[in-house]
Amino acid sequence: MTDHPISIRKHPARVILRIGGRVIADTREALALHEAALPVVLYIPREDVNMSLLERSSHSTHCPYKGDANYYSLLASGVRLDNVAWTYEKPFALVAQIEGHLSFYPDRVEQMIEEPLSGSPISRLSTPVVR
């Protein structure tokens, strides 16, 4: 797939996501997916996401490079955000590493904090980054 390169690397920072004033995810194990000329997408291990605040939606999409995506809506603190996160439950072999991970739309997250892990250089981030 040289016309549409995809690479996945361990993200060199702790990632904390907040929505509706609540921590939705906190991980030191995020994966950074680099896809062609698109912005980097962070995938967070399911075990580091507060899944009790998410509800599976009926929405789904298909990516010719990653497979079928299923979506989750957030229900927390009186806030409902439809299809705020997605996951590839059976991703194509090229991106098998993202199985068991979720990604959140950055513009739907109230706050995203990225803190460098000890000894891990982060060239695209300052310390810490709050979005």
CA distance 99 to 123: 26
pLDDT computed for residue 119 by the predictor: 59
pLDDT computed for residue 120 by the predictor: 55
**pLDDT tens-digit readout, 27-68:** 999 999 999 989 999 999 999 999 999 999 999 999 999 999
Higher-pLDDT residue of 128, 99: 99
Q: For residue 127, what pLDDT band results from cuts at 50, 70 and 90?
A: very low
Q: Is the pLDDT of residue 126 over 50?
A: no
pLDDT computed for residue 98 by the predictor: 98
pTM for the predicted model, two decimal places? 0.87
Domains and CATH numbers, the chain: 6-130 (2.170.150.40)
Residue closest to 72 by CA, chosen among 10, 19, 14: 19
Q: Cβ contacts of residue 89 below 8 Å, gap of 6+?
A: 68, 70, 99
What strands lie across the sheet with 111-116, from one edge to the other?
22-27, 13-19, 111-116, 129-130
C-alpha neighbours within 13 Å on the C-beta side of residue 86: 19
Q: Cβ contacts of residue 33 below 8 Å, gap of 6+?
A: 6, 7, 8, 40, 41, 42, 43, 95, 98, 103
- 45-49, 103-107, 109-113, 119-123: least confidently modelled range: 119-123
